[in-house]
Structure 1
């Protein structure tokens, strides 16, 4: 499998934005993590099986929730600002509204809620755009205090950063132009030019060094800094397909009516808030906010506003419940 890296560019400025339907209100969903998908290519199925065997950590493990301010939280409050790394290019999750200039979406609602709960003042919360590939580095080098940016929890990342309890369940999906003849995931990536974001779980699916996947899917990978760049490349006819998680895939399909999500998904996963290892009290505070955010209905209202009209398999629900 060959790999090409595409330099960072202003993908948001290039993407063709389609008009979207107004979102509908309703109750917040809760339920189980989506079940494993069927119909995946043989190489991806093997990847999924081997990863399940090699991942021995508990992706739901985190410190108990607490409202007590420990040394990490006190240091942030003394600095008078909490810096949260977010996305600004993922429609419905974290994207800049061209009319207001403000970043908005499901993850942005959560980031603001966490920041306001910890700092007691929304004016002390700083949202800092961070590229997909820079998420871990931004935490480890103290450029941000938290990452709220569709970040999958897995064993390797748990060695590098601390995670909150998961707040969303996802799987990997594939987008193609509506003109593509591909009927399923196998046809969409087998022997095709597939775009993935650097440092993403989608990139790991195709990386033999990380999961032992065979190369018999024959995919040619194009690697970009941010997943929205993949949408631009599909619009330009430079790639045949994009692999990303189903939440981001749904956002791209809502953003651009010329692309669609093919049948089939792989690798059920969960998303969490990332922060510096060792900042146990900060992790506990975030977990308390997450528990309150869901119990109070804010999670459900944000989900209904930003994601519910566009998510596939909505009946499976997306608030994660440990097995």
Structure 2
């Protein structure tokens, strides 16, 4: 499967299993976002199409970004030596403009790794052509704080297993892509405070399945998850006799499920809720299996940028029912992921 990243710049404000049907005839409804199916099938056939908007110079400049910061080796060693008890603990907020923030301001635009296939989180609206979603609203808030009104943003679409390499190489300033904070990842990248909490859960067809949960009913079944995801780690540690199917992007799993080439999907329930919204013939079963706090990921050396993002999150989540966070939740997630009363409480380590 191709690992080419699609890059596009915008300005803020725009918005065959035997006995089962196989092939395209088994594709089911998409809940009002039919154009998304074409994007998924393109991903499965490994056709990578560059998606560009705005100034042509933005994309080329983003591709040539130098590695961020010079203290990465020291930071990585410090993280490796430190015990991991509260991986969600991040640096205390600050609005100071250190080297990383100044780098972005001098360049004049923010480069962010995102997803364009996660319905409700980060996806290309088939009507407007704009990339939108819960994560994208947060990106715009960060960019506005650093660059001012109507900021220039370069979105780079990145496969799940390329999120960390993109940050370490300096291809992006940050990744905002339903990325779980955990003990392994904080040794490789720095995270903001958590801005959402999810959990791994199974997504299966509503009819014709014998899978009852994350248990022995998975024996002999094909369970799909994204390469490099926490779902892969969980399946590899507890496969329950299943056959693990790996894809680059999580939404590809829904297509495989629809084509009869997978029997179940294991992913964050927040993402699975979006997939169930696209296809009413699938649903979540069982209970969340893990604790999955999402954070904004940045280069280990960019400590001032981490603190700045945490300051943005502090403002973004303050205000209770009237906060920007709740407004984004009500707009994108409340209908398909109800019952969330607010963002997780931030944890800081210094």
Q: TM-score, normalised by structure 2?
A: 0.73
SS at match of 2:246: strand
> Against the structure 1 CA distance between its residues 84 and 122, is the aligned structure 2 distance closer, same or farther, given a 3 Å change threshold?
farther
2:332 to 274, 287, 306: 306
Distance 1:188 1:293, change over 3 A: farther
In the alignment, the residues of structure 1 paired with residue 280 and residue 123 of structure 2 have an alpha-carbon distance, to the nearest angstrom, of 17
SS of 1:107 mapped into structure 2: helix
- Does residue 135 of the first structure (1) align with residue 163 of the second (2)? yes
Q: Which residue matches 2:215?
A: 186
Structure 1 partner of 2:244: 221
Between the aligned partners of 1:15 and 1:123, the Cα distance in structure 2 is 39
Aligned to 1:45: none
User: Where does residue 123 of structure 2 map in the other structure?
Assistant: 95
Query: What are the superposed Cα offsets for residues 22-52 of structure 1, whole Å, 9 maximum, x if unpaired?
Result: xxxxxxxxxxxxxxxxxxxxxxxxxxxxxxx
Is the counterpart of residue 17 in structure 1 residue 30 in structure 2? yes
Matches within 5 A, 1:32-181: 56-179=84-207, 180-181=209-210
Contact 1:8 1:226 in 2 (8 A): no
From 261, 278, 285, the counterpart of 1:262: 285
In the alignment, is the contact (CA less than 8 A) between 2:274 and 2:336 conserved in 1? Answer: yes
Give, in angstroms, the shift of residue 185 of structure 1. Answer: 3.2
What's the CA shift string for 1:250-285, capped at 9, x where partnerless? Answer: 000011112111122201120100000011110000
Contact preservation (8 Å) 1:185, 1:265: no
Alignment match of 1:281 (pick from 286, 297, 304) = 304
CA distance in 2, matches of 1:198, 1:90: 15
Q: 1 CA distance for matches of 2:219 and 2:327?
A: 39
The question of whether the paired residues in 2 share the 8 Å contact of 1:88 and 1:94 is answered with yes
Alignment match, 1:197:
226
Change (3 A) 1:103 1:187: farther
Task: Judge which range, 269-278 or 115-124, deviates more.
Answer: 115-124
CA contact (8 A) 1:8 1:224 kept: no
Q: What is the CA–CA distance in structure 2 between the aligned matches of 1:158 and 1:56, rounded to whole Å?
A: 9
1:157–1:15 CA distance, 2 compared to 1 (3 A): farther
Please give the root-mean-square deviation of Cα atoms over the aligned residues, in Å: 2.2
Looking at structure 2, the residues matched to 187 and 114 of structure 1 have their Cα atoms a distance apart, in angstroms, of: 44
Greater gyration radius? 2
Cα separation, 2, equivalents of 1:232 and 1:131: 16
Aligned-partner Cα distance in 2 for 1:109–1:279: 22
- Normalised to the residue count of structure 1, the TM-score between the two structures is 0.79
Distance 2:191 2:271 in 1: 20
Offset at 1:192? 1.3
Poorly superposed stretches of 4+, deviation over 6 Å: none
- Supply the distance in 1 between the matched residues of 2:166 and 2:102 (Cα, whole angstroms): 20
Query: What secondary structure sits across from 2:171 in the alignment?
Result: coil
| Uncovered stretches (5+) of structure 1, i.e. residues with no partner | 1-6, 21-54, 208-212
Match of 1:47 in 2: none
Using the TM superposition, give the Cα deviation of residue 223 of structure 1 relative to its aligned residue in structure 2, in angstroms. Answer: 0.2
Q: How far apart are residue 56 of structure 1 and its match?
A: 2.8
TM-superposed deviation, 1:61: 1.4
